[in-house]
Structure 1
Amino acid sequence: MMNADAVIRQVMTGLVMFSLLSGPALGSEHAPDEPMAVGKRLSEQSGIPWHAVIAHRGDSFDAPESTRPAYLLARALGADYLELDLQRTKDGQLVAFHDDTLKRTTNVEEVFPERADDPISSFTLAELKQLDAGSWFNERYPARARSSYKGLKILTLDEVRSIAEGGDNHPGLYIETKVPKQFPGIEADLKAYLETHHWMGDQALQAPKNFDQKSHVGVAFTPGRVVLQTFEKSSLVNLQQQMPEVPKILLLWLGDGYIPADESIRKGEDESAADFYAREQVASQQAYADWLDFAKSNGAVGVGPSAVQSEHDGKFSSQFSYMDLAKRWMVDMSHEKGLLVHLYTVDQPQDFRTYSNRGVDGFFTNHTSALLQFYGRPSDESVEHILRSWNY
């Protein structure tokens, strides 16, 4: 916990006094030190930073998601991890892209109109590189638009890795196997890639002798340099078989083959998806526990539950406000079962505070600088300065 102040209270007769850690990350919901200590210990055992800053598709608040400026920004600001969704092209190239199709964040409807609804697996890398993956951001977020974002390209895993290895900071890679059933064998492909490029195994990256760990991020030089994540039980099993020594996170969701939801809660006819998600509940505590048990028994070191953002009205994209799968009892249960908790996807200080008070061990965030500020690790350089230094 950072920037803590001592809060002294008299107990009973006033003969016993004690102090509690408070400050920006803590509040009225703060549990005793023990749950916090458990999460810290579990993180350290996995080689993963405690209070991890996981840049969700890069700094996707300030730049188009999963593009070069988004990842450069996240690295320069000081994120612990560059997060990406892994898919595979028709010609076998591993790329960083989130959606099942290309329509939301590219101009595929202009370039390949007959194929606009086709999955990435039906495109070659050369075809994907013809697409503009940046202009959509300027249209959706005019206050953060930049002319330099027009024409940005979809990145390969290799290009994201190169970004992680460049610069003064060396973040780790936090990789999700996206819709893995569409890409049989992608777990083995990923293992081969990481071994070839010295991100796992005996030849894994080592910090240079002159590397200053106090001033710069060096997660890429630690045992937690790569974290593997998936929503799919089958992919977790495959990841564990392929890379048993690499930390893994089982992402959590409700319904549709995931954690059973309370079926009495139905979406209203005019209700937004974000508002409905905010009302959803697990069917039972046992249903939640079953998923934690599966994660633990299949090699996961933690879970990634979803969060409700306090504002999902357009100020921050409502697509990132989901159901609350990190209630206090859920975080406590995860820790009791030996699983750390990385929460997705949180962008606002009041939400960082709320969920930190419940004991979560790190956040996926679109707004890297805001989370770093909350954790007391602000960058010396502004977003504007960093972008200009890279001619964006």
Structure 2
Amino acid sequence: MRIRPVSAVTSALLGLSVLLLAVPQARAAAPAARTASQVRTPLVIGHRGAPRRAPENTLASVDEAAGLGITWVENDVQRTKDGALIVMHDTTLERTTDAGRRYPGRAPWRIADFTLAEIRKLDAGSWYDRRFAGERVPTLRSYLQRVDRNRQKLLLEVKAPELYPGIERQLAGELQRAGWLDARHVRNALVVQSFSAPSLKAFHRVRPEVKTGFLGAPKASELRSYAAFADQINPPHRGVTAAWVRSVHAVRGPHGRRLEVSAWTVDNGDRAVELARMGVDGIISNAPQEIEEALENATDEEETEDDGALSILGFLGL
């Protein structure tokens, strides 16, 4: 059988049919575009600074994050034998310093067993790369000063507070002396978080004006009890769902605002985009620059799709 070529008129009619079929989808896409543009992109928070570029929880790591344009950084605070507050993640010194070589007979090298003077002698950079040889374990005061100098903001974790009785009041005093409890910092540059609900409650009693975050993922039915002392519920990202995020956002915290969610530790761009679409407020990452780029790319793609849908409506005069 001979197939006749399609006439120009028929071709035009077919094209119009395709456009008409696209109208319902375009109409649906237009409100979605407007809604998406109103959704705030999550804050990206550098986990221990920028640990893929510098040794974690050091001033070098904070500086690297600043160089990447990362405004928010996360750190961990603990206490030495003689009562100084320092910045380090592990409760022992061995993994991220040369404590094992310098103090061979003092295993397991617990922070609480060493004075600040002893910890000041440690090399906290060579384990990561020779370029960082001589990097020191920072005191909380020096860390706060550097974050301020870089015009950054801080998500500060009270690490293992059960090992350091009274650290909450001491921390509040140190923040006060460093100028971090003024209106500017308290309003939008500081969050204190912990895995320990009792510790977070204790800090909230001492400085109720400071935003606080509970590290964990309570059940939806438990959220109101945490909202008495926590402004954020910060869970491991793997278990986060859109329904759970909505449950958190439905509860108001101690300052009368809805609870926020900052998920950790997210180093995959696709997962970060998924979490952003679920509505999380923050994403804590070892690779903050890569996560920011993934979120920006996803936003650009969505805007392009939305513009295409709106163009169809405009072409049809709808």
Match of residue 243 from structure 2:
329
Give the match for residue 180 of structure 2.
Answer: 199
TM-aligned CA distance change 1:159 to 1:20, over 3 Å: same
Among candidates 262, 274, 295, match of residue 342 of structure 1:
262
Q: Is the 8 A contact 1:56 1:82 kept in 2?
A: yes
Amino acid at match of 1:227: V
Contact preservation (8 Å) 2:100, 2:109:
no
> Which consecutive residues of structure 2, in runs of 5 or more, have no partner in the other structure?
1-20, 252-257, 298-318
Q: TM-score, normalised by structure 1?
A: 0.64
Match of 2:212 among 231, 241, 248: 248
Q: Say yes or no: does 1:300 pair with 2:233.
A: no
8 A contact 1:106–1:134 mirrored in 2: yes
Aligned-pair distance for 1:375? 4.2
1:193 Cα offset (Å): 1.2
CA contact (8 A) 2:98 2:123 kept: yes
Structure 2 residue aligned with 1:10, among 14, 19, 23? 23
1:65 corresponds, among 33, 38, 56, to: 56
Say whether residues 1:186 and 2:167 are aligned partners: yes
Counterpart position of 1:5: none
- Partner SS, residue 20 of structure 1: helix
Alpha-carbon distance in structure 1 between the residues aligned to 2:27 and 2:75: 54
**Distance in 2, Cα, partners of 1:159 & 1:21:** 45
SS at match of 1:331: helix
Question: 1:212-291 residue pairs with structure 2 within 5 A?
Answer: 220=185, 223-252=187-216, 288-291=219-222
Counterpart amino acid of residue 175 in structure 1: L
Residue aligned with 1:223, SS: helix
Per the alignment, do residues 237 and 137 of structure 1 end up closer, same or farther by CA in structure 2, a change over 3 Å counting? Answer: same
Cα displacement string for residues 291-321 of structure 1 (whole angstroms, at most 9, x for unaligned residues): 4223212x211111102xxxxxxxxxxxxxx
Hey, what does 1:163 align to over in structure 2?
146
Where does residue 381 of structure 1 map in the other structure? none
Q: Given that residues 224 and 246 in structure 1 are in contact (C-alpha distance below 8 angstroms), is that contact kept between their aligned partners in structure 2?
A: no
* One-letter amino acid matched to 2:224: D
Structure-1 separation of matches of 2:115 and 2:22: 65
CA RMSD, Structure 1 to Structure 2 (Å):
2.5
What is the CA–CA distance in structure 2 between the aligned matches of 1:125 and 1:359, rounded to whole Å?
42
User: Are the equivalent residues in 2 in contact too, given 1:224–1:247 (CA < 8 A)?
Assistant: no
Give the residue type in structure 2 aligned to 1:165. D
The equivalent of 1:361 in structure 2 is 281
**Structure label with greater radius of gyration:** 2
TM-superposed CA distance for 1:185, in Å, is 1.1
Q: Report the CA distance between 1:325 and its aligned residue.
A: 2.7
Q: Residues of 2 paired with 1:239 and 1:122: CA distance?
A: 24
Q: CA deviation at 1:198?
A: 1.6
2:44 counterpart SS class: strand
- Offset of 1:348 from its aligned partner? 2.3
Match of 1:352?
272
Residue 153 in structure 1 maps to residue 136 in structure 2: yes
- Is residue 9–residue 17 contact of structure 1 (8 Å, CA) maintained in 2? no
Please list the CA deviations of residues 30-70 of structure 1 after superposition, one character each: whole Å capped at 9, or x if unmatched. xx759x75xx5xxxxxxxxx621211111011111011211
CA contact (8 A) 1:132 1:153 kept: yes
Q: Could you state the TM-score of these two structures normalised by the residue count of structure 2?
A: 0.78
Alpha-carbon separation, structure 1, partners of 2:96 and 2:196: 24
